[in-house]
């Protein structure tokens, strides 16, 4: 359920269907509420989110994508500060399963062009069936069984009989399914102890439940919260610097991502160049080298989560890549405003800040050209890289 991209921002994860605003432009409910906040003096509205409107302008249907985004935004709206910091085992706040499925539904709509949306409600019903199946049919442990026996039964049911039929899976998604089962057991009044989920940070372990009262020193680092589930990612280098380096090869192309801290391998360079060639011929490529639609969607959902101001900067880099310079400058400005007064001695962050200043100067020069506003590239990127197949 994560959102892969040309350059994949942190996790991924808004605009909803709405009537056109002034001048015929759609105005999302998210931006409308932000504008209302501005009028009440709570702060300026965020810059516009580009993806759905730009696809509409290019003649790509976005009704299903907008509906899925609206579903995601509705769940994010329930993510209070308390719920965001609570373990997913508690089940407080938003419906995380529905939120994750809305992410999958939007991504599916963006790349499949199917006339039928991903059946989110049907998948939620399947999750409910999986949870109730544990509570019946001889899968549930005997009454009064200690927590260790309870989790032995749950692990056997989930990993032996149901989910891991292929003996592989995403630890993040498995943790979500695990939490959904615990939520159902708790609703039925069959859980008489505080359950917690141990989230593994290696590639070979599975999420496991345990009695929170018997937790050990160091277990806290393996507790995944509602918000961290929605933004979970792993990265060993600055993807933002890679994206800025790619922009040196020209906006609106799939230029390969030169590493800011070393050389690109010959295999990576060849693969990226081949991907660029396919994109320019209108042939969609794999998700590692060219999935700009889902990259933008992931950034927009992360911005909705209000998790980290770096998401504003990352989104700006993608907008520059697509040729949306005015929007790029708006987001760079928003990022620098959010970071104002914060200083760092971290060498990587210093390099990133320098790259932000360089990118902003480059965008400002482009926008200073005479007549630029009269020839905005509203559809140029999507008409050159039109179809995901």
Q: Residues 55-84: pLDDT tens digits?
A: 998 888 999 999 999 999 999 999 999 999
- What was the pLDDT predicted at 384? 58
Helix locations, the chain, DSSP H:
29-39, 51-57, 63-76, 81-84, 96-112, 120-134, 147-155, 171-187, 226-231, 239-247, 266-280, 292-305, 310-322, 325-339, 347-367, 380-384
How many residues in total does the chain contain? 389
Helix axes 347-367, 310-322, angle to 10 degrees: 40
Q: What is the pTM of this model?
A: 0.77
What is the per-residue pLDDT for 280?
A: 53
Rounded distance, CA 126 to CA 180, Å? 11
Contacts of 47 (CB under 8 A, 6+ apart): 327, 330, 331, 334
Give the residue ranges of the chain where pLDDT is below 70: 1-45, 164-167, 232-238, 246-290, 370-380, 383-389
Q: Which of 60, 173, 59, 72 is nearest to 112 (CA)?
A: 60
Map tokens 């269907």 to a residue: 17
Identify the residue whose tokens are 């009537």: 19
User: How many C-alpha atoms does 196 have within 13 Å on its Cβ side?
Assistant: 19
pLDDT of residue 103: 96
**264 contacts 258 by C-beta, under 8 angstroms:** yes
The pLDDT score that the predictor gives to residue 241 is: 77
Which stretches within 85-225 are classed as H helix? 96-112, 120-134, 147-155, 171-187
State the distance between the two ends of the chain, measured CA to CA, in whole angstroms: 20
CA neighbor of 231 nearest in space, from 308, 169, 175, 287: 308
CA 95/CA 114 separation, integer angstroms: 26
Q: What is the reported pLDDT for 277?
A: 59
Tell me the backbone φ, ψ of residue 102, rounded to 5 degrees: -65, -35
Alpha carbon 128 to chain centroid, angstroms: 24
* Whole-number pLDDT of residue 27: 37
The predicted pLDDT at position 234 comes to: 56
Instruction: Please give the pLDDT value at position 248.
Output: 61
Token pair of 164 as six digits: 């891991």
228 three-class SS: helix
Per the DSSP assignment, residues forming a β-bridge with 198 are 208
**Number of neighbours of residue 82 by Cβ within 10 angstroms:** 11
The sign one gets for the Cα dihedral 265, 270, 273, 274 is negative
SS3 301: helix
* DSSP assignment letter at 143: T
Q: Write out the two tokens for 66.
A: 């907008």
Comparing CA positions, the residue from 280, 251, 298, 299 lying closest to residue 384 is: 280
At 332 the pLDDT is 95
Give the whole-angstrom CA distance, residue 311 versus residue 331.
Answer: 9
């Amino acid at each position: 359920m994560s959102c892969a991209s040309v350059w994949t921002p942190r996790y991924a994860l808004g605009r909803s269907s709405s009537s056109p605003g002034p001048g015929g432009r759609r105005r999302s409910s998210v931006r409308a509420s932000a504008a209302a906040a501005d009028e009440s003096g709570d702060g300026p509205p965020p810059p516009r989110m580009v993806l759905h409107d730009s696809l509409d302008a290019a003649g790509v249907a976005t009704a299903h994508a907008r509906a899925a985004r609206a579903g995601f935004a509705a769940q994010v709206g329930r993510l209070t500060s308390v719920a965001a910091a609570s373990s997913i085992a508690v089940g407080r706040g938003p419906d995380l399963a529905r939120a994750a499925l809305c992410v999958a539904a939007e991504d599916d709509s963006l790349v499949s062009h199917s006339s039928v949306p991903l059946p989110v409600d049907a998948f939620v019903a399947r999750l409910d069936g999986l949870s109730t199946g544990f509570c019946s049919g001889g899968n549930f442990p005997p009454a009064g069984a200690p927590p260790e026996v309870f989790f032995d039964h749950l692990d056997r049911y989930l990993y032996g009989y149901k989910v891991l039929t292929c003996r592989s899976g995403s630890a993040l998604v498995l943790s979500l399914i695990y939490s959904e089962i615990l939520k159902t057991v708790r609703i039925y009044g069959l859980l008489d102890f505080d359950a917690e989920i141990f989230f593994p940070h290696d590639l070979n372990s599975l999420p496991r439940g345990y009695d929170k009262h018997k937790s050990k020193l160091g277990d806290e680092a393996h507790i995944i919260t509602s918000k961290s589930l929605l933004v979970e990612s792993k990265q060993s280098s600055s993807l933002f610097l890679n994206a800025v380096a790619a922009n040196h090869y020209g906006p609106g192309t799939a230029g390969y991502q030169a590493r800011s801290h070393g050389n690109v391998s010959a295999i990576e360079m060849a693969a990226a160049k081949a991907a660029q060639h396919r994109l320019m011929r209108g042939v969609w490529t794999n998700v590692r080298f060219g999935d700009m639609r889902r990259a933008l969607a992931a950034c927009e959902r992360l911005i909705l989560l209000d998790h980290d101001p770096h998401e504003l900067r990352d989104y700006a880099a993608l907008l520059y890549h697509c040729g949306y310079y005015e929007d790029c400058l708006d987001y760079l400005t928003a990022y620098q405003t959010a970071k104002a007064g914060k200083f760092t001695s971290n060498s990587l962050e210093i390099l990133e800040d320098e790259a932000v200043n360089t990118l902003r100067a480059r965008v400002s020069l482009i926008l200073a050209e005479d007549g630029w506003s009269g020839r905005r590239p509203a559809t140029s990127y999507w008409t050159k890289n039109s179809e995901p197949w």
